């Protein structure tokens, strides 16, 4: 226990004094083998400015075995609170290098996150969906996914995924939690939904569009889909003749045959 505590203090000192870009982390006060991290989404990625919270849970024989890696904040890249299969995680103990410290592991996680490589625990998502998720990360972390109760009533506890009202995040990241609530207040974010609430100072009869942190629907118009009036998208703007080619061709043939018969009868008489 003493050696693990010494290792914990040494690594925390290292990562605190020389934090890698976009990464902060600390060991939990309640569990010597549990570390909590925050990855900030780098520029030029769909995760830009997102606040991604997760945990590293180390085995008792660390550093001779790798940790279980989870990301709790929804990102559009990983399944929330699901063990991730990476070369630096407990899925591959034989490939783990005992010289790898917490900072090394988290740098590897961030690098994998900003790639498109798939593995157990990862999910596919569009750039728009990931940007939408990034815009809601601070709200999600501090409200437990909207389960926060402003009336002081009890909420479910012990569930990092969601449902604890942000209690676990608040314990591990009190300063960030305070910043998140300040941000939500300044931006009129509804704690229960994550959407932007109407501006009370706006004109009552405003005709402007409704804004908010809304998820992209992902649906697009498909050529040939039925629209109003029973016509297809592909037929919009085309002339009547273009839309009724067979009818026009049939009329021409009928007229030609009729004229030919009339001329033939006239010649016979």
Catalytic residue ranges: 85
Q: What is the dihedral of CA 258, 262, 268, 269, to 10 degrees?
A: 150
- Could you tell me if 171 and 148 are in contact, meaning their C-beta atoms sit under 8 angstroms apart? no
Going from the C-alpha of 39 to that of each of 25, 72, 215, the distances in angstroms are 9, 11, 22
DSSP string, 224-266: T-B-GGG-BGGGTT--HHHHTHHHHHHHHHHHHHHHHHHHHHH
Going from the C-alpha of 243 to that of each of 121, 232, 238, the distances in angstroms are 50, 11, 7
| Beta-carbon count within 10 A of 32 CB | 15
Report the run of H or E that residue 34 belongs to, with start and end. strand 34-40
Which of 42, 3, 9, 43 minimizes the C-alpha distance to 26? 9
DSSP state of 93: G
Across the beta sheet with 68-71, the strand order is 23-27, 34-40, 51-57, 68-71
> What phi, psi does 29 have (nearest 5°)?
-70, -25
Which of 44, 43, 40, 42 minimizes the C-alpha distance to 53? 40
């Amino acid at each position: 226990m003493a050696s693990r505590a010494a290792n914990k203090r040494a690594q925390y000192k290292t990562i605190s004094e020389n934090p890698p870009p976009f990464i902060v982390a600390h060991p939990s006060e309640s569990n010597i083998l549990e570390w909590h991290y925050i990855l900030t989404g780098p520029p030029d990625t769909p995760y830009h400015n997102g606040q991604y919270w997760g945990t590293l849970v180390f085995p008792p024989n660390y550093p001779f075995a790798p940790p279980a890696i989870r990301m709790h904040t929804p990102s559009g890249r990983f399944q929330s609170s699901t063990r991730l299969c990476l070369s630096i995680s407990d899925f591959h103990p034989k490939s783990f290098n005992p010289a790898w410290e917490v900072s090394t592991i988290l740098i590897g996680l961030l690098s994998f996150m900003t790639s498109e490589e798939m593995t157990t625990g990862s999910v596919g998502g569009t750039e728009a969906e990931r940007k939408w998720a990034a815009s809601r990360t601070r709200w999600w972390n501090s409200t437990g996914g909207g389960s926060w109760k402003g009336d002081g009533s009890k909420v479910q506890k012990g569930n990092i995924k969601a449902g604890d009202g942000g209690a676990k995040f608040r314990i591990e990241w009190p300063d960030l939690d305070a910043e998140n609530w300040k941000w939500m207040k300044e931006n009129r974010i509804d704690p229960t939904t994550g959407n932007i609430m109407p501006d009370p100072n706006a004109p009552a009869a405003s005709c402007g569009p409704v804004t908010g942190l809304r998820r992209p629907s992902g649906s697009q118009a498909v050529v040939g889909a039925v629209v109003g009036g029973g016509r297809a998208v592909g037929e919009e703007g085309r002339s009547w003749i273009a839309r009724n080619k067979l009818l026009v061709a049939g009329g021409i043939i009928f007229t030609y045959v009729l004229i030919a018969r009339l001329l033939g009868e006239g010649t016979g008489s």
